[in-house]
Structure 1
Amino acid sequence: MGIYLNPGNEEFKRIIKSNYIDKTGLISIINSKIGTKKNLVCVSRPRRFGKSYAAQMLCAYYDCTCESKELFAKYGIAELDDRLSYLNEFNVIYLDITSFISDRTSKGDSINSVVNDIQDAVIKDVSDIVEVNPQDSFTNILLKYVEQSGKKIIFIIDEWDAIIREAKDNNEVQTAYLNLLRSLFKNGNFTSRAVAVAYMTGILPIKKDGTESAVSDFDEFTIINPGKFAEYTGFNADDIRTVCQQNETGITVDELKEWYDGYSFDGVNPIYNPYSVMQAIEMGRLESYWRKTTAAETLFTYINMDFKGLQEDIARLISGEQLHVDINNFNNDVETFNSKDDVLTLLIHLGYLAYDNDTQMVRIPNKEVRTEFDSLLKNESKSKLADLVKRSDNLFQATLNLQGDMVAKVIDNIRCSEYAPTFYNNEQALRYVIKFAYICCVDSYQKVEELPSGKGIADVVYLPKKGSNLPAMVVELKWNKTEEAAIQQIKDKKYPTILQDYVGDILLVGVNYDESVKEHACVIERIARQCILGT
């Protein structure tokens, strides 16, 4: 048993001693790849979505130097395959690429030699078993080991893309690393003779070389299209029910859904962030655990990039909209961006956005991730949206103070900004501007558009979130009419009846745009809930 060659099953033993959710069914997928031309697999998903747990599980299952039958006998793989095919039948080489980078950076060294470090580390383990000729190539040394042991190798490479991300400006290191992967997995003299399966995990899909994958023989299963690996990408609804049943924390399924759900794939919906769910259960507290990870990427770095329309799209997402994104031109790295769609595609792979394959639309997936966007809005020094947020804060305070003239003035300013639609010609365009105008409210209100109520449909309703002392807001919009007519419609149509379960005051906000003078006007009334329901 070595460090990188045949590392054993001790890590998986530690994993299953905690609140382990059974994902051993993944093994059956990998088993089906052995002995086929489809034995090279790359699974990419965001940080903290169980990549390393899966890698350690596969090590324990396939490593021929340990006995793991009892470890897997009580889990799903034993039901899917009562013979536990291929159990402890292969040599395993397990590489956590981040560990090699950390070893270098912790010493203050550059990562220029990290590819050599990887090869040297494996050769050192192999040299304890076979005689190594220093003149032999890395693949020849491994091939000699396979021939002597009589067992092929299962390669498990965790965080395969760490070098692509960490050496984003170092083409020499990236090229050397990709060449290493090609020598192992695109080598007619080695791959078929020595590799039983290669299973790579990472945040990003395999980097493109032009329009093709740089290591082209891999089948890729991404967060955008996980295929048969969708069930093992995160926690599903059954997993969440199991978690809540096993742990008496008082945290409910609905609360976990609001905070950590939002990702969905073909046939598997919903998908929860497993790390954050287990942290919430462990700590007994619902909050964002995303920011407590060791993520090197920071959200503001990407959303502050200078691509036409990006800031508007980010603002639309924060205001609760969904957007169409073209994912096809993304180069699968963190350096090469040619459009706002490339930036948004990266945010999908990082887990900041959820993507729907059917509609090709993205959205902010859940409350946890939304808090990251909200914190960005509050940090004016980091956000290019700071001006919009400042205007929105002023507008909201003016709304609370019933200062209709001030509200109209701020809406006029936002109308003239980059966040307004190109064609400002109807009530729908006005509604579009209002979404941006109240963007500062995203963390304290739930916004509902065109909500049926009373005798009609309310244009926009802002419902205070649980625990808030803020008043509710019913916003009615008019085009070439009057702001007073908007307020009167709220009352005549009894829109506030939708708030019958809400205890607190209600702000009635009437907004009108007059095309003849190209100005907005606003009037605001604050009415106690019992009064409006009694009219």
Structure 2
Amino acid sequence: MKKTISIGKQSFSSLREHDNFFVDKTNFIKEWWEKEDDITLITRPRRFGKTLNMSMMECFFSNKYANRADLFEGLSIWEEEKYRKLQGTYPVIFLSFAAVKADNLSDVKEQIKQEIVRLYRRNGYLAESDCLSEEEKREYREISVEMSDARLATSISVLCEYMSRYYGKNVIVLLDEYDTPMQEAYVQGYWDEFTSLIRSLFNAAFKTNPFLERAIMTGITRVSKESIFSDLNNLRVVTTTSDLYADCFGFTEEEVFSALDDYGMGDRKEEVKKWYDGFTFGEKRDIYNPWSITNYLEEGKLYPYWASTSSNGLVNRLIRMSSADVKEKMEDLLQGKTIVVNFDEQIVYNQLDQNENAIWSLLLASGYLKVEEVDYRGITREPWYTLKITNIETLSMFMTMFRGWFQNSDANYNDFVKALLKGSLKEMNIYMNDVTLATFSSFDAGKKPSEKNQPERFYHGFVLGLLAELRDQYEIRSNRESGYGRYDVMLTPLNKNDNAIIIEFKVHEPEEETSLQDTVQSALDQISEKNYDAELLARGIPVDRIRHYGFAFEGKKVLIG
């Protein structure tokens, strides 16, 4: 009998009590316990079972779930008597920062304090026990959203002390989604002030806490040690490139195929693999996103379930405002190619605008790209990563993102594309001027946008938009060699009856050109003189089916000829 699929349920006890669909990941309990690490930080993309696994850890270790053998019977962890005896024997603190999101420092502090207040209320029996002095009881009851930052910083470690005293055993601390407020702090502009607070909280909870047995933190990104973990020398970091716990988050191919068989979908394995396979953790390949698989099992249709739930604001902004080089690499990725880049897996949020390579680290950690190969170069063994878009689902996410750049109601980008394909210069000029006015400045990352840099950044964003719109009709390439130079944009038709298009972008040079029309002519002359047609001619496209367009820019004004 097929088990009911409960979409989005993140409570381990509830899933087990209702006998819902569940993929056994209890091997994570054994692997983690036997590593004996004091503090473990595990990063995985969104909706990869982090919260469910943390709930599972709480149910296994917490003495509040003592005598709950029913939750684990039939699962792999219950096969060993050692672990049957271990279940339900520790005091556990389970805390989540998933909902800590605010556009200012004051509100985010209040939200964290609210989480701490809820934690203290759940353990209110401590304030009634004989283990606390009258002064400690008074201080316990004074924990509120009005508490000072200093009191907040020590709140977790103090609760550990009280629980350890009450139970006669040190405490296991589980912190889920630790980096959610950090991303918000960076995006909203209060990074420095917030990290000072969170560093103090983590130092007290995880470094100078003698009442801590062990701890696990989960998140999407590995925030740099210097930012918040500078005092934690006992931290084991497990990223998407680590071999440790590689199959403990996400579904393996064997688990996915078994579920498809159970739900009568065994004949759909290949299409499911194309859409949802591709995540790699360490050396472990063929990992699937649990959110998409459970939704597919429930709905029975291919759809970008995971991609459609994402909040891509930070990634979107970083790519849109990135240099031409980053956008060129994105063009390659969208066309199924790999790129080779060097980056540090540690993310220093306040340096994201200065260090463009950080975008690759963020895309990898978020699951949008996968590692095909790592090459360690030089005497310092610097890692160079060969990256590729993860699967069809993540490709759809990028396509939606790039379309969105030009979907401003004033942009008329779709109208421009239609005019380009039918060769109407008049309409092209009208619509492209609307597009540049609506989107131009968003493609320049500088504080003082440069008229020299803007067109270059814009045209690569423009190409990504074309790829999103015309990928099924044209092979679209930019800044590639042909003839005696490098063209800006080339559209090669997939249908032999369609026209090929070459576009050259030029910035108006007032010292050399008297008008934008001169700049247009200079662009057209370059296409001819550099023989950019050579690549198209070599592919059998006749001269009379190759169109040339020169785009001349002067600030946000554009003329096409």
| TM bin (shorter chain) | 0.5 to 0.7
1:432-447 alignment to 2 at 5 Å?
A: 439=467, 444=472
Distance 2:231 2:412 in 1: 42
The question of whether the paired residues in 1 share the 8 Å contact of 2:405 and 2:465 is answered with no
Per-residue deviation at 1:70? 2.3
Distance 1:114 1:211 in 2: 19
1:109-508 alignment to 2 at 5 Å?
A: 110-129=107-126, 130=129, 131=132, 132-134=136-138, 138=155, 139-168=157-186, 169-170=189-190, 171-187=192-208, 190=209, 193-209=210-226, 213=230, 215-223=232-240, 225-249=241-265, 252-293=268-309, 295=311, 297=313, 299-328=315-344, 330-333=346-349, 336-359=352-375, 360-381=385-406, 439=467, 444=472
Distance 2:413 2:329 in 1: 13
Distance 1:46 1:314 in 2: 20
Q: Secondary structure at the match of 1:110?
A: helix
Once the two structures are superposed, residues 179-217 of structure 1 have per-residue CA deviations (whole angstroms, 9 ceiling, x without a partner) of 111101111xx2xx3222201111111333169756442
Once the two structures are superposed, residues 59-108 of structure 1 have per-residue CA deviations (whole angstroms, 9 ceiling, x without a partner) of 11111122222221211222366643521110111101124x26x89xx9
User: Do the aligned partners of residues 306 and 315 (structure 1) sit closer, same or farther apart at CA in structure 2, a change above 3 Å counting?
Assistant: same
The question of whether the paired residues in 1 share the 8 Å contact of 2:483 and 2:530 is answered with no
Q: Which AA in structure 2 matches 1:87?
A: Q
Distance 1:10 1:269 in 2: 25
Comparing 263-272 and 228-237, the one that deviates more: 263-272
Q: Secondary structure at the match of 1:355?
A: strand
The question of whether the paired residues in 2 share the 8 Å contact of 1:42 and 1:220 is answered with yes
Distance 1:442 1:271 in 2: 30
The question of whether the paired residues in 2 share the 8 Å contact of 1:153 and 1:194 is answered with yes
Distance 1:436 1:331 in 2: 26
Distance 1:446 1:308 in 2: 21
Per-residue deviation at 1:173? 2.6
Per-residue deviation at 1:380? 4.4
**Which residue of structure 2 aligns with residue 518 of structure 1?**
531
The question of whether the paired residues in 2 share the 8 Å contact of 1:235 and 1:274 is answered with yes
Give the number of equivalent residue pairs: 423
1:34-49 alignment to 2 at 5 Å?
A: 36=36, 38-49=37-48
The alignment yields a C-alpha RMSD, in angstroms, of 4.1
Per-residue deviation at 1:506? 6.5
Q: Which AA in structure 2 matches 1:444?
A: D
Once the two structures are superposed, residues 99-125 of structure 1 have per-residue CA deviations (whole angstroms, 9 ceiling, x without a partner) of 4x26x89xx972233343343333333
Is there any run of 5+ residues in structure 1 with no aligned partner, and where? 1-8, 399-416, 420-434, 450-476, 481-503, 526-535
Q: Which AA in structure 2 matches 1:354?
A: K
Distance 1:335 1:146 in 2: 40
Distance 2:335 2:40 in 1: 38
The question of whether the paired residues in 2 share the 8 Å contact of 1:42 and 1:200 is answered with yes
Per-residue deviation at 1:176? 1.1
Distance 2:162 2:59 in 1: 24
Q: Which AA in structure 1 matches 2:28?
A: L
Per-residue deviation at 1:246? 1.7
Per-residue deviation at 1:232? 1.4
Q: Which AA in structure 2 matches 1:379?
A: G
**Which residue of structure 2 aligns with residue 463 of structure 1?**
none
The alignment's TM-score, normalised by the length of structure 1, stands at: 0.68
Once the two structures are superposed, residues 135-184 of structure 1 have per-residue CA deviations (whole angstroms, 9 ceiling, x without a partner) of 58533443133022112211111101112112222232332122111101
The question of whether the paired residues in 2 share the 8 Å contact of 1:115 and 1:173 is answered with no
The alignment's TM-score, normalised by the length of structure 2, stands at: 0.65
**Which residue of structure 2 aligns with residue 465 of structure 1?**
none
Once the two structures are superposed, residues 388-418 of structure 1 have per-residue CA deviations (whole angstroms, 9 ceiling, x without a partner) of 99998778778xxxxxxxxxxxxxxxxxx96
Q: Secondary structure at the match of 2:254?
A: helix
User: Do the aligned partners of residues 439 and 296 (structure 1) sit closer, same or farther apart at CA in structure 2, a change above 3 Å counting?
Assistant: closer
Q: Which AA in structure 2 matches 1:183?
A: A
User: Do the aligned partners of residues 356 and 291 (structure 1) sit closer, same or farther apart at CA in structure 2, a change above 3 Å counting?
Assistant: closer
Q: Which AA in structure 1 matches 2:110?
A: S
The question of whether the paired residues in 2 share the 8 Å contact of 1:260 and 1:276 is answered with yes
Per-residue deviation at 1:294? 5.6
**Which residue of structure 2 aligns with residue 60 of structure 1?**
59
Q: Secondary structure at the match of 1:264?
A: strand
Once the two structures are superposed, residues 419-475 of structure 1 have per-residue CA deviations (whole angstroms, 9 ceiling, x without a partner) of 9xxxxxxxxxxxxxxx9898457753798x9xxxxxxxxxxxxxxxxxxxxxxxxxx
The question of whether the paired residues in 1 share the 8 Å contact of 2:370 and 2:390 is answered with yes
Q: Secondary structure at the match of 1:167?
A: helix
Comparing 159-168 and 304-313, the one that deviates more: 304-313
Per-residue deviation at 1:134? 4.5
Distance 1:291 1:236 in 2: 19
The question of whether the paired residues in 1 share the 8 Å contact of 2:222 and 2:345 is answered with no
Q: Which AA in structure 1 matches 2:48?
A: F
The question of whether the paired residues in 2 share the 8 Å contact of 1:93 and 1:153 is answered with yes
The question of whether the paired residues in 2 share the 8 Å contact of 1:319 and 1:436 is answered with no
Per-residue deviation at 1:312? 1.3
Distance 1:332 1:376 in 2: 24
| Bigger fraction of residues in helix | 2
Distance 1:42 1:436 in 2: 35
Distance 2:527 2:122 in 1: 78
The question of whether the paired residues in 1 share the 8 Å contact of 2:179 and 2:221 is answered with yes
Distance 2:46 2:206 in 1: 25
Q: Which AA in structure 2 matches 1:518?
A: N
**Which residue of structure 2 aligns with residue 20 of structure 1?**
22
Per-residue deviation at 1:253? 1.4
The question of whether the paired residues in 2 share the 8 Å contact of 1:478 and 1:511 is answered with no
Comparing 88-97 and 357-366, the one that deviates more: 357-366
